[in-house]
Amino acid sequence: MRQDTMRAIEARAFSIDALTLTERPVPAPGAGEILVRVKAATLNYRDLAVLIGGYMPALPLPFIPVSDACGVVEAVGEGVTRFAVGDRVVPCYIQTYHSGLITQEQRTQRTIGAPRDGVLRDYMTVPAEDAVHAPAHLSDLEAAALPIAGLTAWTCLMTGGLQPGGTILVQGTGGVSLFALQLAKAFGARVIALTSTAEKADLLKRLGADAVINYRDTPNWAGPVREATGGKGVDIVVETAGATLSESLAATAYNGFIGVIGFVGGQEASVNIRQLIGPGARVQGIIVGHRDGLEALGRAMEVSDIHPVMDKAFPLEQAADAFHHLKAANHIGKVGISF
């Protein structure tokens, strides 16, 4: 029997150290909704950017942070047939976005973790249509890595037209890059990876990277990337750094694709327009993805027995420590929070 109150982590100011463990009432599912007992969450760079005030500075305080979770259905509202009590589920990051093209309202108003309250609480309600079944082969922590990191990688590769025998470039060892590497290898593609340390290079090679380039030793890495492809260039770039867009364009094949998904290296980049026009490169911002894509990602991971790379998990009470660990940028894979 669940209690009437639950634990929740509130951000009462735009600071990691302003995170506070508090109590809130347990919500009740309305018609068409499910009540989810949260079992695990994972952190994204977006969560950190929101928390420190750099992404949504006008967000009302306090708010419950973090976007990605996996949990168990504790109760269902009237009319729900999509799930039953006891099902493991993953809420969709962008609520109401089921397929097709995203709307501005969905992008700006319907995302979990800001502006909607996030997942760092024992219970949450979501519309049944805005969650998917967790892949059976994944743990709760692993499944909690899918809504943003996993789906963003999947959407980028699918939008770029990933093909067996194609070549993709991933940057670093963050969650999206590692998902993209694992998925691309499952599709029979070649992967070139950028990293900053020998330890991370070893991990990338174990996951199947065909070539690894240290971007600290070689900041102008486009040339070595092209050499690793026999001069052709890569077919798809998973651009997580943002500020390296010009270098990515120089590494891209004719008619290649660059999916811009993040800005961990900076929000501005200088681009020579001829780099776009000459090879006919496509550059597109990737906005995570929709529910149908999340379901397809789960199926692909089950068939290929792909498990996300997990770094370290912290208990809910140590959520601030988890964010400090993420901010330090020494992690490899996903940083988690267990309940």
Looking up tokens 């950190």 gives 48
Question: Do residue 138 and residue 12 come from a single domain?
Answer: yes
- Identify whether residues 99 and 179 lie together within a single domain: no
What is the structure's pLDDT at 275? Answer: 79
Q: Per the domain annotation, does 320 fall within a domain?
A: yes
Q: Are residues 323 and 268 in the same domain?
A: no
In a domain, 292, yes or no: no
The answer to whether residues 204 and 267 belong to one domain is yes
Task: Based on the fold, state whether residues 86 and 163 are members of the same structural domain.
Answer: no
Asked, for residue 101, whether it belongs to a domain, the answer is yes
Residues 33 and 71 both lie in one domain: yes
Q: Is the pLDDT of residue 279 over 80?
A: yes
User: Same structural domain for residues 88 and 196?
Assistant: no
Q: How far apart are CA 67 and CA 252, in angstroms?
A: 32
Whether residue 83 lies inside any domain: the answer is yes
Q: Is residue 135 part of a domain?
A: yes
Average pLDDT over residues 248-255: 95
**Which residue matches tokens 């519309």?**
127
SS (H, E, C) the chain: CCCCEEEEEEECCCCHHHEEEEEEECCCCCCCEEEEEEEEEECCHHHHHHHCCCCCCCCCCCECCCCEEEEEEEEECCCCCCCCCCCEEEECCECCCCCCCCCHHHHHHCEECCCECCCCECEEEEEHHHEEECCCCCCHHHHCCHHHHHHHHHHHHHHCCCCCCCEEEEECCCHHHHHHHHHHHHCCCEEEEEECCHHHHHHHHHCCCCEEEECCCCCCCHHHHHHHCCCCCEEEEEECCCCCHHHHHHHEEEEEEEEECCCCCCCCCCCCHHHHHCCCCEEEECCCCCHHHHHHHHHHHHHHCCCCCEEEEEEHHHHHHHHHHHHHCCCCCEEEEEC
> 116: burial class by Cβ within 10 Å (0-12, 13-18, 19+)?
middle
Mean pLDDT (whole number) for 230-243: 92
pLDDT of res. 184:
98
Domain boundary pick from 248, 270, 285: 285
The Cα 146–Cα 144 span in angstroms is 6
- CA dist., res. 189 & res. 305, Å (int): 17
With bands split at pLDDT 50, 70 and 90, how would you rate the model's confidence at 1?
Answer: very low
φ, ψ of residue 121 in degrees (nearest 5)? -160, 155
The domain tally of the chain equals 2
pLDDT the model gives residue 272? 79
Q: What is the CATH number of the domain that holds 277?
A: 3.40.50.720
Please enumerate, as own/partner, the contacts of 282-285 that have beta carbons within 8 Å and a separation of 24 or more. 282/160, 282/255, 282/256, 282/257, 282/258, 283/245, 283/249, 283/257, 283/258, 284/159, 284/257, 284/258, 284/259, 284/260, 285/259, 285/260, 285/261
Which CA distances in Å does 162 have to 9, 48, 149, 169, 293? 39, 30, 18, 12, 15
| Residue 125 and residue 33 in contact, taking contact as beta carbons nearer than 8 Å | yes
The answer on 135 and 9 residing in a single domain is yes
Q: 180 and 118 in one domain?
A: no
Average pLDDT value for residue range 167-193: 96
User: Domain check: are 45 and 123 in the same one?
Assistant: yes
The CATH number assigned to the domain holding 79 equals 3.90.180.10
Q: Average pLDDT, stretch 276-280?
A: 82
* pLDDT band, residue 265 (cuts 50/70/90): low
Across the chain, what does the average pLDDT equal?
95
185 falls within a domain:
yes
Of 285, 300, 328, the domain-final residue: 285
Local confidence band at 263 (pLDDT 50, 70, 90 cut-offs): low
pLDDT tens for each residue of 48-65: 999 999 889 999 999 999
Q: Are 140 and 15 in a shared domain?
A: yes
Pair of tokens at residue 15:
């600071």
* Res 266 pLDDT > 70: no
Is 297 part of a structural domain of the chain?
no
Residue 255 in any domain: the answer is yes
* CA atoms of 238 and 191, how far apart (whole Å): 11
Model confidence at 183: pLDDT above 50: yes
**Judgement on whether residues 10 and 135 belong to the same structural domain of the protein:** yes
Q: What is the pLDDT of residue 3?
A: 75
Domain that holds residue 318: 5-145+308-338
